[in-house]
Amino acid sequence: MVLGKPGLAAYLENGLCNSSVIGRCANRVADASYVWKGRRIALQANFGRHCIHGGSGCYAMKEFAFSIRREPNALRLSLWLLDQGEGGFPGQVAFRVDYVLDNKSVRIEYQAVPTEDTVWNVTSHAYFDLNGHGSGAADKQVLRLFAGSYLPAFSNGLPTGERRSVEGTCFDFRKPVQISDALQGADEQLSQFGGFDHNFCIDGQGFRQAAELRGMRTGIRMEVWTDCPGIQMFTLNQVPPAFGGKDGSRYSRHGAVCLEAQHYPDAVHHREWPSPMIPAGVCSRTKTAFIFR
């Protein structure tokens, strides 16, 4: 149900970051810089003049130390990485992510202890096709999002700064919608990306349900729960010509959907949005769960 790569080497050269954890700052930072407490932090520009997914420090390209532990009703995979500030980020971050598997869910628990105040936005970049990876029917999934608004974006994916109601638009997933139908929507926001690549502002606060996805062929249903303020919906709008996957699969455009629980993109430049900044010396945490019914 998750798009994958044939081996470790392919993951470390993974341009689309599929199935990877993303940090230190997932998504985009405009002009590859931000100002904090009067100090300008210059990041690596790896997306035009902007920074995306942490630049050369992107966790998707890193090998982690790991351990596996059996718990009474679950299996826990713990991954550790000392983030040295590649990509221009300040200080170091002792980063840990745990994947906890039980008989119904995968829970992802992230924690970070930075040596300096820093922007921190981590997410899982898993590409889902609940009809089976490489099925050719990824758009035959039904999606519901618990979001009454979304962030319109410029053609480079940076948010315009507006928070727009989904009412009366193809971005309204408050009731279940088949993704193939939504992709036919007549909206400039949709056409400029060839699909969805937008942040939805999840209703409520705390750990709550953000989304529900169902495979029409298999009937498999997956709930997404998170304490993050937003979820980036990406419908795999472009793929490299030779985008090969696990089990000899060849993945295609619109061949999956990402539901990336995270802070809003470029939130560091929008004080009215939830802040992605975490303080030095303090252990910060966030969690997301994928629950299968």
Note whether residue 1 is domain-resident.
no
Which residues, 6 or more positions from 284, have their beta carbon under 8 angstroms from its beta carbon? 111, 112, 113, 114, 120, 278
Residue 151 lies in a domain: yes
Q: Where residue 253 sits, what CATH number does that domain have?
A: 2.70.98.10
Per-residue model confidence (pLDDT) at position 6: 85
The string of pLDDT tens digits covering residues 89-117 is 999 999 999 999 998 999 999 999 999 99
Under the banding of pLDDT at 50, 70 and 90, the label for residue 192 is: very high
State percent of the chain over pLDDT 70. 98
| pLDDT tens track for 208-256 | 999 999 999 999 999 999 999 999 999 999 887 667 788 888 888 999 9
pTM of the entire predicted model = 0.96
In a domain, 154, yes or no: yes
Q: Give the span between the Cα atoms of 165 and 280, in whole angstroms.
A: 36
Taking all residues of the chain, what is their mean pLDDT, rounded to a whole number?
95
Least Cα distance to 88 among 115, 56, 125, 131 occurs for: 56
Residue 206, judged by CB atoms within 10 A of its CB (0-12, 13-18, 19+), counts as: exposed
**CB 280: neighbour CB atoms within 10 A?**
12
Which residues is 284 bridged to in the sheet? 112
Residue 3 lies in a domain: no
What is the rounded average pLDDT of the residues 117-146?
Answer: 95
Domain count, the chain: 1
Q: How far apart are the C-alpha atoms of 210 and 201, rounded to whole Å?
A: 9
Confidence tier at 1 by pLDDT (50, 70, 90): very high
Considering the domain boundaries, does residue 2 fall inside one? no
User: Does residue 72 lie in a domain region?
Assistant: yes
Q: What is the pLDDT of residue 241?
A: 65
92-to-50, 82, 112, 145, 277 alpha-carbon distances in Å: 22, 7, 10, 35, 14
DSSP string over 102-133 = -SSEEEEEEEEEESS-EE-B-EE--EE-TT-T
pLDDT tens digits along 153-185: 999 999 999 999 999 999 999 999 999 999 999
Residue 69 inside a domain? The answer is yes
Local confidence band at 22 (pLDDT 50, 70, 90 cut-offs):
very high
- At residue 66, what is the residue type? F
Q: What is the domain range of residue 275?
A: 8-292
Tell me: pLDDT of 15 over 80: no
Report the sign of the C-alpha dihedral through residues 231, 67, 256, 1, in that order: negative
Condensed to tens digits (0 to 9), the pLDDT of residues 49-81 reads 999 999 999 999 899 999 999 999 999 999 999
